[in-house]
A and B are shown apart, each in its own frame.
Chain A
Amino acid sequence: MRKGYFSLVLHAHLPYIRHEEAHRLEERWMYEAISETYIPLLWEVDRLSRPLGWTVSISPPVIEMLADPLIQERYIEHIEDTLRLINQELERDLDQKERDALMFYQDRYHDLLNTFLHWEKDLNRAFRHYKEQGYLDLITCTATHGFSPHMLSEQAARSEIQTGLNCFERHYGFRPSGLWMPECAYTPGLDRILYEEGIRYTFVDEHSILNADPSPAHGIGAPVYSPHGVALFPRDQIISGKIWSSVIGYPGHPDYREFYRDLAYDREWDQIAEFMHPEGLRYDTGLKLHRVTGETDQKDYYVRDWAWQRTSEHAADFAQALGEHLDTYQAQDFPPFLVTAPFDAELFGHWWFEGPDFLGKAMERLEDQEIESISPATFLERHFQDIDTVHVAMGTWGRKGYAEVWINERNDWMIRHLHQLEKRLAGVVARNRHQDALTVKAKRQLIREYLLAVSSDWPFILDGQTTAQYAANRFREHVLRFEETERRLDAEELTMEWLDDRYREYPFLQDTDIEPDVFLTAHDYYVAVKREKSWNTDAILLFVRQYDTSERPAENLAKRLAAAGENVYVVTEHAEAYRLQDGVHVYGVQVSGLPLVQTYNQLAALNLAFLRQAQALSKIVDFQVVHNFNMDTASAAQAFSKVKNIPLVSNVYDLESERSPDRSGGLVVAIKRLEGDALRHSSVVYLEREESRHGVEQEYHVEKKPLRFEENLEKPYQHVTNPKKNG
């Protein structure tokens, strides 16, 4: 045996394009993938009938569509239609070469049909069979191929990973230790989720490893461990490029089939109308009768024997080049040099028609060259001790190596909607902790819609601008379906029947695949179970800059109210984020970041911090009144009162007019204006000291008569009136 290894990884993925109604154009993507890639690959596996060291990743949408009886039946119809078309064509007066090409397709489509029926229409069975025979290794991908680095939350990334694995396990009976991350996208932190979900290896592009910190000793000649302990296998671009480069790659050879010349566009409409879309659209028949023929528009007819012969030559060439490549690195030990070659499976067969033939033959030539083909899983079993641990930065195998395909001016509008769905899901699962069957089902449906929306195929298609309308529509459709489901859940308008109907429209994933609380964090769980229900209604929001100081008796008031059974929430300036003190919820906020120069702006920053805390609280607490205990927080209290339409109560200790009686200037004017506004908008104004009365009444033109705080201490909100809307 030669020293070193070769590892081929094929990733089969299509977006979930199954539709209940017939004649959706996109469904043909699936038929093409089955006819051109999946079955031809299986033919090669079957022909060789021995352990190949191949790893095939089948994405959950592909798995689900392969298992779908509707798709299965329609695929058979599709094959039968194509065979009828071939027969009809063969009856015409044809050039001999054209006839030969058609005859080739006739045989081929019969073979496809036979193979499909042999596996009782479910190709998952075929893949599973060959896996069980030990001929190949199977892994899967995340649920809908979402682009993980752009997800807002860990929970979203986890839902994709966990759900994908559950789906795979249901169909294949085991949980793989490797996972194909969509677009070979990696970002720090993703590895922790992968590890926790039982995943031990995934794939990245070569620059991710070459730029790792510290630089790994073996470059791309070996995988590395990420900080959280997941092995990352790098794509070897030299070897991958040998196969697939647009300049030096094999598929461009003149003998191979021309992808872009389809019979559908060579015929008059009347001749093929019967086989086209009922609405008069022309689409590929899959019968491509020409070959590449070099750099010319004049395409010659496809000659199957030549193409077949050519794959033999290319397979031998590839094996030899690979052998030489491994020899160059034969000095590498611990571990020996590994070439990892991950590809989209559909490149072989769909894009490069002869690709599966090439792969099969290449495996035989590797044997001649004594090159060991090995799966990443086996490699890890042998060499897990010989791998460096490094920090790998965000990276993908997409254009320019990062995220330009999935976030750019054509598709960036999507991301905020996806993040909103994530936030909503976190909210839905936290506030629907009860586990009745209907709610659980609803949560699963919400997650399903999120997963279908987050598929990286939609921004990918928008980036490429082909079938962009479909991608945008599908994306919007799932967002709107999510919102409708959520609305009905909140309004208690859901029924099992409605949810079942929804499911039938996109029967992707079974309920058992989806953990309904995958979006729940330990923290949310804590929030949801540890609080009394009564705590969140008719609460009092107290803004006070300094809470527990003796001259500002906010603490006394809050305690007294809490003891009387009120729900009191205090927002104050404090280092401690939260404490429950004498029955009062005290939330501390602080201004962080770069310091501000001007006092008035510092005050703005403080008020923003107060407001944010109140805003977060208002998601779970229903406030009946906001009580502003000192003028420092006047703008936050006022804004909150106004937008939430709840009464404002203000306490006056001293005012700017008292603090700086002799000063004038911008700051004094501004503060006085702010104080005056707040007081005038207050439903009740309390005076702590009688001395303030004059200032409030005269200088601030407050029409309401200020009350004495001490006198009303027991029932401070008895004089509160509800403000008029926009009042």
Chain B
Amino acid sequence: MLEQIIKMKEQGLTTKQIAAQLDTTEGKIKYAWTKYRKSLTEQPSAEAPKVKSKTVKQTKKSTAPVLDVVPSVQVMPSLERDAFGMATHYEDDILHAIVQSPTALYVYWELSELSKQLLETHYHTSFDSFRKELRVIDVTLVDYEQGQANRTYQFELPEMTNAWFVRPVTPNTTYIIEWGIQTIDGDFVPVLRSKPVETPRDEAVTDGRFAEVVQHWQYGEVEQPEWVEVLRPYSYFDRVR
């Protein structure tokens, strides 16, 4: 069974899916998998030769496929440091929104050199000259990927900001935040986008939107819960397969 489990894990199947396919319980799958993972850890070093994790230029077209490790090309980049030795900026494109209260979100962002370069190239102007804005989008129960939104508003950001407390926002609402530039023709071009974030309720429910979806989930009618889960799987290789 272990062999099958490993195979399916490698295909990216969840424990639940594997259990269904092998007609057994999730618990058994988990146990076998954990045991297997442990056995890997306990291997003496002689059996598992170390693979260089650095960027090593390999001879091209090395014939033997090594189904072992793909070393990352990118290790820690050298970064600018402040007086305490902390990085002042990570070479990253990220915008993350977190809940401070039912009426306030904290948003921080980082823009990589690549993105800045693209904007400068595309608009043929210096990065400093863009008007930077934050757009707050209410996406409660709609599909923003498809261009749906309940309402949006946006505001200009002062230069040199990399974080903002967005206030006020509405409780019990799902938001997506975008950092972008206002072009001279009046469009807002989003450059960074947050994952959806849900503001908590701050009063007792009158017309609840979760009763039904919780029930769907509870009775196993849906594969994924139909609400935003703030802690969701994140992968370093986010979009790389």
Contact = CB atoms under 8 A, between A and B. Distances in A.
B122 A190 contact: no
A707 interface: no
The size bracket of the interface on A is: 35 or more
Interface in B48-87: 48-55, 57-58, 60-62, 65-76, 84-87
A525 B123 CA distance: 40
Given A227-B214, A490-B53, A594-B137, 8 more contacts: A393-B200, A417-B86, A523-B235, A525-B10, A537-B58, A608-B118, A613-B239, A639-B117
B170 interface: no
Nearest to B73: A622
A100 to B, nearest CB: 49
Interface string B206-238: 001111011001100000010111111111111
Contact of B144 (A432, A440, A592, A618): A592
A615 B112 contact: yes
Contacts of B100: 402-404, 407-408
A522 interface: yes
B231 to A, nearest CB: 4
Contacts of A598: 183, 185, 187
A535 B70 CA distance: 8
Contacts of B106: 407, 412, 415
A530 B67 contact: yes
Contacts of B187: 596-598, 601
A407 B55 contact: no
Interface residues of B, number: 116
Contacts of A674: 121-122, 124
Nearest to A473: B84
A390 B57 contact: no
A436 B54 contact: no
In the A-B complex, the 7 residue pairs with the smallest Cβ-Cβ separation, listed nearest first, are A189-B229, A393-B200, A391-B210, A153-B234, A426-B236, A635-B122, A213-B208
Given A415-B98, A489-B53, A393 B110 contact: no
Contacts of A152: 96, 234
Contacts of A715: none
A465 interface: no
Contacts of B213: 391
Given A434-B48, A435-B41, A608-B118, A213 B233 contact: no
A108 B108 CA distance: 51
B72 A522 contact: no
Contacts, number: 362
A403 B107 CA distance: 14
A70 interface: no
B205 A154 contact: no
Contacts of A492: 52-54
Interface in A508-529: 515-517, 521-529
A638 B233 CA distance: 33
A422 B204 CA distance: 35
A150 interface: yes
Contacts of B237: 430, 523-524, 527, 616, 619-620
9 contacts: A214-B210, A391-B208, A402-B100, A412-B108, A427-B236, A431-B72, A486-B75, A533-B68, A533-B71
A612 interface: yes
A604 B205 contact: no
A611 B116 CA distance: 11
Contacts of A502: none
